[in-house]
Amino acid sequence: MEPYMKVANIKSHPEGNAYGRPTQTYDSELVFVGPGTPGGEYLRRYWHPVAVSKNVTTRPQEVRILGEDLILFRDGRGRPGLLLPRCAHRGTSLFYGKVDDEGIRCCYHGWQFDVQGRCIDQPCEPERGLHRDKVRQPWYPVEERYGLVFAYMGPPDKTPDLPRWDIFEDLPAEVKLFATDSSFSVGGDDSVKILPWNWLQDWENTLDPFHVQVLHSTFTATQFAKEMAVMPKVSYEMTEHGIRYTAYRQLPDGRELDRRSPAIFPNIISTPDVHLQAGLSTTMGWVVPVDDTHHRRFHVMRVPADSDPSVTRPRQMYTEQNRPKRWIDMTEEERQQWPSDWEAQCGQGPITLHSEEHLGTTDQGIAMLRRLMRKQIRLVQEGKDPIGVSFGDESPRVVGSGNFFRAAESEVEK
């Protein structure tokens, strides 16, 4: 894909007049996700969620991920399968196939494939396919965990562990996990699953604690806890799995707050509760590239075992009386008046133009993230393993994000 705008390299104007400005471009190494691209090959070294488990049934569904179109289904024995849509016989889409206990059967001539693409029946051929074992429908491995279906689309000999996370293991009886593919966390809602901008714009937002003070706290309404309006002092550190920031705030009531939030490579977030519930975060989110100009979000969260989170899940768009309103129901004018993450990130364009940016001191997290990502891309190109990839280590990883309060000094003295 080419940058959107190319203009002749006429000498640019010294006072910043827009005429004659140089070609605007983006960093293709970081933003492209397709097979064979540097970023795409790096991302293919990890498992990615492709669907919420409960939504995967015997009805085939189209899934687009990392620039590839695939068909996802669950066979009659409960096994999920992820195959290329184009039937290995003469190319009809398996989207129109029928699924039974053994696998998916193409609608055109009835060839049937199991969840690993083996051709197990060719009803029109002599003896139902004397050579059917020579045919394999291209497929990817999938695994289910925490209510999500994960796919691994990288080199088979490099298949890593599907990570476990400490906050989702050994749950007490009163807690259950809830998985969703709603776009609520960027200000969208259940009805909008595909976000029309490059995934990196969303993931970078993870290491941007300053937009919380502006966009979510002071620009229009108080979208999160009112204490977020305090400008934080932020520090960043490298971790075993990526980068973490700590946003420190001295609150008006005398308490002090450390808000810790990680960017877990390659695309995982764990945002501390935005209403400042104290303690460890109980959610994780995945920012999953659909293609170069679209992505989607998956989330897993701990919820009370007796709750129905599909009803109680918060929405984060606010209008006049600070009433929630679904993104889909807002007018364009309302989105202008009460923008949230959706508008801020989508407003950067389908792929933001890195050549036009002016990073400031508060963009340190963004710069660190890009630098670490570029390093991983190079490692993969050199045949090495990128950060966070493990083989044969199933032990749960520590997430470590959350809101950590320090008592007011006077209280400490008492």
| Site residues, Fe ion (CB under 5 A) | 341
Q: What are phi and psi of 185, to 5 degrees?
A: -75, -10
Compare residues 24 and 92 and give the one whose CB is closer to ligand FES.
Answer: 92
Q: Does 89 bind ligand FES (CB under 6 A)?
A: yes
**DSSP assignments along 115-178, one per residue:** TT-BEEE-TTSGGGTTTGGG-B--EE-EEEETTEEEEE-S-GGG------BGGGSS--TTEEEE
- Beta-strand pair 175-180/294-304: antiparallel
How far apart (Å, rounded) are the C-alpha atoms in residues 333 and 209?
A: 27
Q: Does 106 bind ligand FES (CB under 6 A)?
A: yes
- Cβ of residue 141: shortest distance to ligand FES, in angstroms? 23
Compare residues 86 and 193 and give the one whose CB is closer to ligand FES.
Answer: 86
- Cβ of residue 92: shortest distance to ligand FES, in angstroms? 4
What residue 286 binds from Fe ion, ligand FES, none (CB within 5 to 8 A, per partner kind)? Answer: none
Partners of residue 61 on adjacent β-strands: 72
Compare residues 129 and 266 and give the one whose CB is closer to ligand FES.
Answer: 129
Compare residues 122 and 271 and give the one whose CB is closer to ligand FES.
Answer: 122
Q: Does 79 bind ligand FES (CB under 6 A)?
A: no
Whether 82 contacts 140, CB under 8 Å? yes
Whether 261 contacts 247, CB under 8 Å? yes
How far apart (Å, rounded) are the C-alpha atoms in residues 340 and 326?
A: 12
Q: Does 99 bind ligand FES (CB under 6 A)?
A: no
**Taking the mean position of all CA atoms in its chain, how far away is CA 123?**
41
Compare residues 111 and 139 and give the one whose CB is closer to ligand FES.
Answer: 111
Q: Does 111 bind ligand FES (CB under 6 A)?
A: yes
What residue 341 binds from Fe ion, ligand FES, none (CB within 5 to 8 A, per partner kind)? Answer: Fe ion
Q: Does 92 bind ligand FES (CB under 6 A)?
A: yes
Q: Does 86 bind ligand FES (CB under 6 A)?
A: no
Q: Does 95 bind ligand FES (CB under 6 A)?
A: no
Give the helix/strand (H/E) hosting 294.
Answer: strand 294-304
- Exactly one of 13, 90, 233, 384 binds ligand FES (CB under 6 A); which one? 90
- Cβ of residue 71: shortest distance to ligand FES, in angstroms? 12
Whether 138 contacts 153, CB under 8 Å? no
Whether 60 contacts 94, CB under 8 Å? yes
- Exactly one of 56, 87, 119, 280 binds ligand FES (CB under 6 A); which one? 87
